[in-house]
């Protein structure tokens, strides 16, 4: 099938590359010319395991091109995916500016019949109340599908190609048939529903995962006080098939472009509807406290004022270069207020961190250099390369990611919940 992808970030690029790998003809559209040039030259603008190899493969097979020319891409596509960002506004609700702009572009340029698929995460009601009226007003004959994305950064390709299920919220039978055809070579079970339910499934999913993490953090904080190993507790809990062990690791808290934004957005939607959203408000509150705990632990062992502090790990988790809402950002900002002399290292996220902190902090070329230049080290991402005891010789180490190897050689070692 001929497919256009509007918005070629983490989700759009993964969607494009994976659909092309199944033989579909894909045109990726973005406003950012630099991204487009990189993609066309076979270099992914983001770090994702397996992305470079698959991108090169589909480009050389002539199955994927990238362009800023939305008109041409839209005109020739049978299916148009909307994968633009839906960032948080100050009140926690989502900003639909990019989505509406992209929908307007389709309305102006589509011409004949199109299937429009919303993959961006949007609160329940958005597809039918914000996107559909734009397309209806243009008079183009269209079908609509809300197809939320469940990929995890760090495992995006694998999750897209063989995740647990594909949710399709469709407006009509014809759209359902075409979407079934699109996904026919994927092994996942298809779950067919209406667009508003599909939107809610995505929020329910991410809110529940974020709740598990905050639950693990709250109990982890208590376990530490009681001298109990919280990881062992969750190993025991995770054997219960109703619960699973995943997302029960305590630590410095969740971040990234999804959990904080999505939980805040559904809280905001709930409040708009007169619901208190008490549980999810607490999930955010517990999460916000974990980075503060890291600073308090540091202060317990060393005064951060004018001290050389090393940050190992900037990305919100290992396997990605994404620093959006990462605990590292809140912690570095706090340390900057204390005039700490900060050196950071992350194997993939350095250039994204430079966009935020520029010359306010120092950037090491390796974990070793970062450690050597620091008196105290905070571990904020669980990259495997941080699991080397020699990095921590004679250092004060505050661990937010259970890198227990750090304990062996450290002068002082303390974990956030252990």
User: What 8-state DSSP symbol labels residue 157?
Assistant: H
258 binds ligand NAD (CB under 6 A): yes
8 in contact with ligand NAD (CB under 6 A): yes
Q: Which of residues 113-132 bind ligand NAD (CB under 6 A)?
A: 120-121
* Of residues 121 and 217, the one with the C-beta less far from ligand NAD: 121
Start-to-end Cα distance in the chain: 52
- The DSSP letter of residue 89 is P
In the set 3, 4, 10, 213, which binds ligand NAD (CB under 6 A)? 10
Minimum gap (Å) between residue 238 Cβ and ligand NAD: 24
Least distance (Å) from ligand NAD to the CB of residue 87?
Answer: 8
Query: For 24-89, where are the alpha helices, taking DSSP H only?
Result: 33-40, 51-60, 70-76
Binding mask 45-64 for ligand NAD (x = CB under 6 A): --------------------
CA atoms of 219 and 225, how far apart (whole Å)? 10
> For ligand NAD, which stretch binds (CB under 6 A), given 95-103, 110-118, 232-240, 376-384?
95-103
8 Å CB contact between 209 and 202:
no
> Is there a contact between 65 and 24 (Cβ–Cβ < 8 Å)?
no
Q: Is 38 in the site for ligand NAD (CB under 6 A)?
A: no
Please state the φ and ψ torsions of residue 184, each to the nearest 5 degrees: -65, -25
Number of residues forming the site for ligand NAD (CB under 6 A) = 27
Give the torsion through C-alpha atoms of 366, 371, 377, 378, to 10 deg. Answer: 10
Residue 87 CB neighbour total at 10 angstroms: 13
Question: Which one of residues 28, 83, 166, 361 is an interface residue with ligand NAD (CB under 6 A)?
Answer: 83
Q: Are strands 165-170 and 142-146 parallel, antiparallel or unpaired?
A: antiparallel
84 binds ligand NAD (CB under 6 A): yes
Stretch that binds ligand NAD, among 80-88, 175-183, 298-306, 351-359 (CB under 6 A): 80-88
The pair of three-digit structure tokens given for residue 363, joined into one six-digit string: 């950037």
Q: What is the DSSP letter of 377?
A: E
The rounded distance, in Å, linking the Cα atoms of 312 and 159 is 27
Q: Which two tokens stand for residue 151?
A: 């990929």
* Contact status: 4 vs ligand NAD (CB under 6 A): no
- Which residue in 4, 12, 253, 418 binds ligand NAD (CB under 6 A)? 12
The rounded Cα 55 to chain-centroid distance in angstroms is: 20
**Site membership for ligand NAD, residue 86 (CB under 6 A):** yes
What gap in Å lies between CA 223 and CA 231, rounded to an integer? 9
Alpha helices in 309-373 (DSSP H): 327-337, 350-357, 367-372
Give the shortest CB-278-to-ligand NAD separation in angstroms.
24
In eight-state DSSP terms, residue 128 is I
Among 7, 16, 169, 327, binds ligand NAD (CB under 6 A): 7
Contact flag: residue 3 with ligand NAD (CB under 6 A): no
The residue from 37, 60, 91, 101 that contacts ligand NAD (CB under 6 A) is: 101
CB nearer to ligand NAD: give 51 or 378.
Answer: 51
- Cα–Cα distance for residue pair 31/8, rounded to 1 Å: 9
Q: Which stretch binds ligand NAD (CB under 6 A): 2-10, 134-142, 242-250, 391-399?
A: 2-10
Number of residue whose CB is nearest ligand NAD: 9
Residue 149 as a binder of ligand NAD (CB under 6 A): the answer is yes
Q: Which residues pair with 146 in a beta bridge?
A: 118, 169
Binding region for ligand NAD (CB under 6 A) out of 7-15, 192-200, 233-241, 311-319: 7-15
Q: At residue 30, what are phi and psi to the nearest 5 degrees?
A: -145, 160
Interaction between residue 159 and ligand NAD (CB under 6 A): no
* Stretch near ligand NAD under the rule CB under 6 A, chosen from 9-17, 219-227, 268-276, 387-395: 9-17
| Member of 4, 16, 26, 30 binding ligand NAD (CB under 6 A) | 30
Nearest to 16 by CA among 246, 253, 182, 193: 182
Q: Which is nearer to ligand NAD, 12 or 319 (CB)?
A: 12
Q: Is 258 a catalytic residue?
A: yes
Of 43 and 60, which CB lies nearer to ligand NAD in the complex structure? 43
| DSSP assigned state of 73 | H
Query: Which of 223, 258, 370, 417 is the catalytic position?
Result: 258
Q: Pick left, alpha or beta for residue 259 (phi over 0 → left; psi -120 to 50 → alpha; otherwise beta).
A: alpha
- Applying CB under 6 A, the residues found at the interface with ligand NAD are 6-12, 29-32, 35, 70, 83-86, 98, 101-102, 120-121, 149, 151, 153, 257-258
The set of catalytic residues is: 258
């Amino acid at each position: 099938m001929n497919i256009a992808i509007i918005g070629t970030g983490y989700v759009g690029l993964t969607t494009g590359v994976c659909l092309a790998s199944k033989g579909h003809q894909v045109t990726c559209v973005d406003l950012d010319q630099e991204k487009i040039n990189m993609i066309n030259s076979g270099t992914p603008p983001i770090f994702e395991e397996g992305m470079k190899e698959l991108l090169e493969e589909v480009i050389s097979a002539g199955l994927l091109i990238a362009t800023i020319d939305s008109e041409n891409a839209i005109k020739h596509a049978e299916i148009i995916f909307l994968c633009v960002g839906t960032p948080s506004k100050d009140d926690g609700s989502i900003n639909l500016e990019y989505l509406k702009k992209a929908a307007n572009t389709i309305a102006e340029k589509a011409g004949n019949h199109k299937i429009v698929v919303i993959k961006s995460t949007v609160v329940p009601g958005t597809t039918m109340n914000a996107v559909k009226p734009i397309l209806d007003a243009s008079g183009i004959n269209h079908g609509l599908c809300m197809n939320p994305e469940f990929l995890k950064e760090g495992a995006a390709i694998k999750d897209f190609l063989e995740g647990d299920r594909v949710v399709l919220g469709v407006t009509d039978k014809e759209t359902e048939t075409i979407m079934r055809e699109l996904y026919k070579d994927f092994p996942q079970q298809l779950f067919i529903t209406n667009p508003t339910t599909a939107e809610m499934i995505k929020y329910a999913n991410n809110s529940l995962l974020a709740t598990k993490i905050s639950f693990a953090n709250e109990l982890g904080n208590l376990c530490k006080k009681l001298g109990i190993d919280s990881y062992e507790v969750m190993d025991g809990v995770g054997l219960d098939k109703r619960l699973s062990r995943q997302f029960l690791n305590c630590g410095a808290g969740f971040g990234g472009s999804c959990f904080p934004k999505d939980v805040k957005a559904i809280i905001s939607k709930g409040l708009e509807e007169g619901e208190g959203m008490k549980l999810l408000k607490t999930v955010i509150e517990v999460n916000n406290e974990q980075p503060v705990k890291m600073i308090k632990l540091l202060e317990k062992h060393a005064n951060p004022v004018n001290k050389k502090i090393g940050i190992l790990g900037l990305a919100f988790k290992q396997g990605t270069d994404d620093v959006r809402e990462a605990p590292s950002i809140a912690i570095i900002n706090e340390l900057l207020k204390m005039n700490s002399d900060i050196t950071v290292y992350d194997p993939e996220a350095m250039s994204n961190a430079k966009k935020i902190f520029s010359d306010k902090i120092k950037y090491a070329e390796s974990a070793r250099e970062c450690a050597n230049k620091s008196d105290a080290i905070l571990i904020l991402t669980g990259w495997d390369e941080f699991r080397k005891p020699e990095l921590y010789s004679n250092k004060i180490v505050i661990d937010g990611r259970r890198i227990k190897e750090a304990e062996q050689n450290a002068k002082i070692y303390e974990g956030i919940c252990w």
